[in-house]
């Protein structure tokens, strides 16, 4: 293999500091912190910045990159941009990576591209994703949301087909309620393709999974990877004194300034003081808090810069909480009205 001067070669010590956790009762380990490409990997972000973040993540042991068909903007651009970087930097490391994508929301014109769980949409979307990413298969393929207009057997059957075709190694679901998750587990089990993992939103300000979903996942041996663990950026020091220019809230990207209520900010400021006492940033404590539960396999972070990525990974330096700390956190880790995906999990 001919290497050029600017070719990326992964750090030799990339596995020295990362913590890996088993995914439910499967044989697959995931890094405790995984990188999501929901934001920061569309055409609105320079490719060099995307490349720097992905390289640094892998150098620090982050082996799991999570995508979806409609990540961007525009739709599809995150997969396409990742594919370009993958071809140059990561193709030789394919067997060291866990790549995932999803199908569930509107993606292309016409009745078959409007999202949901039909066999036509789900499998067509996967083929498009593989083409954009330039890979033969993904490790995990998700149903991105529950579709009450399509029989669950059809959606789960599509995931089973994807695995049997060799286009995905494992099946996952995202934002399904506890009861619907249990149904999905049974359908896939009967088909012979176990449900590997569930990807729900979960943070200190969005604790819906604690009602019954985590119990279902624990009972059924299904892994859990929490997305939006920083509450779309609210659980950072970014908004303690207002809305900074260029932030997600200022751009109205999944975080409305309407959510930055005085009540939410009072709780966030109290949590920030607790984090300082632990020697952590608020983001680090928020991530560590989710990982306190052994049923959670991984937390899925976004990163707009290498510095932000490194700060989040610093959460792994202190994952222990005293009962007193947990009790105090519970006083401020309260529902913040930020679950943008509750429609999917309401069924």
Listing DSSP states for 141-159 in one string gives EEE-S--TTS-HHHHHHHH
**Ordered DSSP codes for 160-214:** HHHHHTTSEEEEEEES--HHHHHHHHHHHHHHT--EEEEE-B-BTTB-GGGTTHH
Q: Does some domain include residue 81?
A: yes
Q: What is the CA radius of gyration of the chain?
A: 19
Q: Does some domain include residue 263?
A: no
Q: Does some domain include residue 57?
A: yes
3-state SS class at 135 = coil
Q: Does some domain include residue 341?
A: no
Look up the domain containing 44 and give its range: 20-233+293-317
CB 70 within 8 A of CB 76: yes
Distance in angstroms (rounded) separating the CA atoms of residues 95 and 62:
13
What pLDDT shows up at residue 247? 53
| Helix or strand (DSSP H, E) at 34 | strand 33-36
Mind listing the pLDDT tens digit of every residue in the chain (347 residues)? 344 447 999 999 999 999 999 999 999 999 999 999 999 999 999 999 999 999 999 999 999 999 999 999 999 999 999 999 999 999 999 999 999 999 999 999 999 999 999 999 999 999 999 999 999 999 999 999 999 999 999 999 999 999 999 999 999 999 999 999 999 999 999 999 999 999 999 999 999 999 999 999 999 999 999 999 999 889 998 888 866 565 554 455 555 677 778 888 889 999 999 999 999 999 999 999 999 999 999 999 999 999 999 999 999 999 999 999 999 999 999 987 878 888 888 88
Q: Does some domain include residue 7?
A: no
Of 296, 88, 71, the residue nearest 203 (C-alpha): 296
Of 103, 23, 108, the residue nearest 69 (C-alpha): 103
Report the number of distinct structural domains present in the chain. Answer: 1
What pLDDT shows up at residue 245? 60
Q: Residue 33 contacts by C-beta under 8 Å, 6 or more apart in sequence?
A: 18, 62, 287, 298, 299, 301, 312, 313, 315, 316
Q: Does some domain include residue 34?
A: yes
Q: Residue 26 contacts by C-beta under 8 Å, 6 or more apart in sequence?
A: 170, 194, 196, 221, 223
Distance in angstroms (rounded) separating the CA atoms of residues 151 and 32:
34
What pLDDT shows up at residue 295? 98
What pLDDT shows up at residue 335? 87
CATH number at residue 63: 3.20.20.100
Q: Does some domain include residue 210?
A: yes
Distance in angstroms (rounded) separating the CA atoms of residues 192 and 211:
29
CB atoms within 10 A of CB 233: 20
CB 195 within 8 A of CB 222: yes
Of 133, 113, 114, 135, the residue nearest 124 (C-alpha): 113
Distance in angstroms (rounded) separating the CA atoms of residues 76 and 161:
23
Q: Does some domain include residue 153?
A: yes
């Amino acid at each position: 293999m001919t290497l050029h001067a600017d070719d990326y070669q992964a750090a030799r010590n990339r596995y020295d500091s990362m913590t890996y956790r088993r995914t439910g009762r499967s044989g697959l380990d995931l890094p405790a912190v995984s990188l999501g490409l929901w934001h920061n990997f569309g055409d609105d972000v320079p490719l060099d910045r995307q490349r720097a973040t992905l390289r640094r993540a892998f150098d620090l042991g982050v082996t799991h990159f999570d995508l979806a068909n409609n990540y961007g903007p525009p739709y599809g651009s995150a997969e396409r941009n990742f594919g370009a970087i993958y071809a140059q930097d990561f193709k030789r490391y394919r067997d060291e990576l866990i790549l995932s994508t999803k199908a569930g929301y509107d993606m292309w014109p016409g009745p078959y591209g409007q999202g949901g769980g039909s066999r036509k949409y789900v499998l067509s979307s996967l083929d498009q994703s593989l083409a954009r990413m330039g890979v033969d298969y993904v490790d995990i393929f998700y149903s991105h949301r529950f579709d009450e207009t399509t029989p669950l057997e059809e959606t789960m059957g599509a995931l089973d087909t994807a695995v049997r075709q060799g286009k995905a190694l494992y099946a996952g679901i995202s934002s399904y309620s506890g009861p619907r998750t249990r149904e999905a587990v049974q359908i896939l089990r009967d088909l012979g393709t176990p449900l590997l993992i569930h990807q729900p939103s979960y943070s200190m300000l969005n604790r819906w999974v604690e009602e019954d979903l985590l119990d279902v996942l624990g009972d059924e041996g299904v892994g859990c990877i929490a997305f939006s663990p920083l509450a779309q950026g609210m659980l950072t020091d970014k908004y303690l004194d207002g809305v900074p220019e260029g932030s997600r809230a200022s751009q109205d990207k999944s975080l409305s300034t309407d959510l930055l209520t005085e009540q939410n900010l009072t709780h966030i400021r109290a949590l920030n003081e607790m984090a300082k006492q632990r020697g952590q940033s608020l983001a680090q404590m928020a991530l560590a808090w989710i990982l306190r539960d052994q049923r959670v396999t991984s937390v899925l972070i976004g990163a707009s810069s290498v510095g932000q990525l490194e700060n989040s990974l610093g959460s792994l330096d202190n994952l222990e909480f005293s009962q007193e700390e947990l009790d105090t956190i519970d006083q401020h880790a309260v529902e913040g009205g930020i679950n943008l995906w509750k429609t999917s999990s309401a069924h």
